[in-house]
């Protein structure tokens, strides 16, 4: 090694060493700026310096939360299909974490459930005992526990990212909006359950509230997938901008939204039981519908009409999804395959749900793949935005 290189290297080493000693000696002065990084909401909006932003870690965190949301959608479907949703008649965010632990606590919980119209008119006459009550209680309790887990799985890392100012510029408000959605979802869930407990003769929750609860979960999932895609791009290229929403993607999202809404109403009205044959409905191509309540009421309440619309609008949704998948087939082959697989499975499971007389596991799988269809579609929409901007 030439002598002047060695000298320069030694000088650099000495400078770094001296700086480190200074840092150690005046530890407080060096450490203070880090400690002073307070956990405050304003940290979410203060741009993180390039060196501190952690887009890849943030993307992975959001993907984990997205997986938890898919799981809770499945568990929510099982809760609904096993008629478990009204088994917990109160909303206690903290004290509700533990299930009843003693025999008398179980009896007290069962006594509260026995006051509901669902018990008086349906499960009671069907002979529900404490063991059967414990089964339905489990699903509702598990669903609510998962809701809390999602809240914490979002909030705790959010605090960590904010404290270390590791949130990339421009993402703070999005993360806050998603956290607000998670909190709102808990409140909406209770608003839904409250329509079937207390002083009411309803044996089921309102199908409007049920659809709002399901669609909000799917909207949150969409936000998580979209934002994690943006963050992954940012990790690969620090100059990357968030993907725009194209007109085509907005149109596809609108068509899919109608299908998801109709599906949620079919579920909420138990309209899957309106007909068990396919493609005919009770032997007819177009079912007999009683329009005497008016067009709007019939369109939003009649189980035959809503099942009919859901089973055939599916093919409009399929056409829209094929179009979107084709648009991104070069830019994102994975999304192309995922969208095709998702809607194909969805249609087959939908038909199987009808023909099996709404069998629990087939219907639950339909709900699970519904969430995966949303995730695949959002990924394709995101790639469509990037591809159009690059074109």
Which residues of the chain form contacts with ligand HEM (CB under 6 A)?
77, 81, 259-260, 263-264, 266-267, 272, 278, 310-311, 314, 317-318, 343, 346-347, 350-351, 353-354, 358, 363, 366-367, 370, 373
Closest approach, Cβ 79 to ligand HEM, in A, equals 11
Q: Give the C-alpha separation, 254 to 250, whole Å.
A: 6
Contact predicate 373/343, CB 8 Å: yes
> Quick one: which H or E segment has residue 178?
helix 172-194
Closer CB to ligand HEM, 68 or 266, in the complex: 266
Per-residue tokens: 67: 């997986």
Closer CB to ligand HEM, 179 or 276, in the complex: 276
Closest approach, Cβ 164 to ligand HEM, in A, equals 38
Give the phi and the psi of residue 295 in degrees, each rounded to 5. Answer: -65, -50
Question: What is the DSSP secondary-structure string of 112-129?
Answer: HHTTSHHIIIIITTTT--
Closest approach, Cβ 272 to ligand HEM, in A, equals 3
Contact predicate 157/39, CB 8 Å: no
Question: What is the DSSP secondary-structure string of 289-305?
Answer: ---TT-HHHHHHH-HHH
How many CB atoms are located within 10 Å of the residue 130 CB?
A: 12
Closest approach, Cβ 288 to ligand HEM, in A, equals 18
Closer CB to ligand HEM, 153 or 217, in the complex: 217
3-state SS class at 144:
helix
Helix axis angle, 172-194 to 207-236, nearest 10°: 160
Closer CB to ligand HEM, 59 or 217, in the complex: 217
Q: Give the C-alpha separation, 39 to 21, whole Å.
A: 29
Closest approach, Cβ 371 to ligand HEM, in A, equals 8
Per-residue tokens: 4: 């002047």
Closest approach, Cβ 102 to ligand HEM, in A, equals 35
């Amino acid at each position: 090694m030439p002598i002047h290189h060695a000298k320069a290297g030694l000088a650099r080493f000495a400078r770094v060493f001296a700086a480190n000693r200074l840092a150690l000696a005046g530890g407080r002065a060096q450490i203070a700026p880090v400690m002073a990084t307070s956990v405050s909401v304003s940290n979410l909006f203060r741009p993180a310096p390039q060196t501190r932003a952690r887009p890849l870690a943030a993307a992975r965190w959001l993907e984990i939360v997205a997986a938890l949301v898919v799981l809770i959608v499945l568990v929510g479907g099982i809760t609904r299909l096993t008629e478990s949703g009204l088994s917990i008649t109160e909303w206690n965010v903290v004290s509700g974490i533990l299930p009843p632990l003693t025999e008398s606590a179980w009896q007290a919980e069962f006594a509260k459930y026995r006051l509901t119209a669902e018990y008086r008119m349906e499960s009671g006459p069907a002979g529900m005992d404490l063991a059967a009550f414990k089964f339905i209680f489990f699903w509702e309790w598990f669903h609510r526990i998962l809701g809390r887990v999602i809240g914490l799985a979002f909030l705790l890392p959010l605090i960590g990212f904010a404290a270390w100012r590791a949130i990339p510029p421009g993402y703070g408000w999005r993360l806050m909006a998603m956290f607000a959605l998670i909190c709102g979802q808990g409140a909406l869930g209770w608003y839904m359950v409250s329509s079937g407990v207390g002083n009411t003769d309803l044996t089921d929750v309102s199908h409007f509230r049920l659809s709002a609860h399901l669609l909000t979960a799917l909207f949150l999932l969409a936000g998580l997938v979209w934002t994690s895609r943006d963050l992954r791009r940012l990790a690969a290229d620090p100059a990357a901008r968030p993907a725009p929403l194209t007109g085509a993607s907005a149109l596809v999202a609108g068509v899919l939204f109608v299908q998801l809404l109709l599906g949620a109403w079919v579920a909420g009205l138990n309209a899957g039981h309106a007909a068990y044959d396919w493609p005919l409905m009770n032997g007819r191509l177009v079912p007999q519908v009683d329009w005497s309540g008016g067009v709007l009421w019939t369109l939003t309440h009649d189980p035959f009409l809503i099942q009919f619309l859901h089973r055939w609008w599916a093919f409009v949704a399929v056409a829209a999804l094929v179009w979107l998948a084709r648009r991104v087939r070069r830019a994102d082959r994975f999304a192309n395959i995922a969208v095709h697989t998702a809607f194909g499975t969805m249609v087959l499971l939908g038909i199987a749900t009808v023909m099996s007389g709404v069998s629990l596991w087939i219907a639950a799988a339909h709900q699970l793949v519904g969430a995966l269809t949303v995730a695949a579609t959002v990924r394709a929409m995101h790639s469509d935005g990037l591809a159009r901007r690059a074109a």
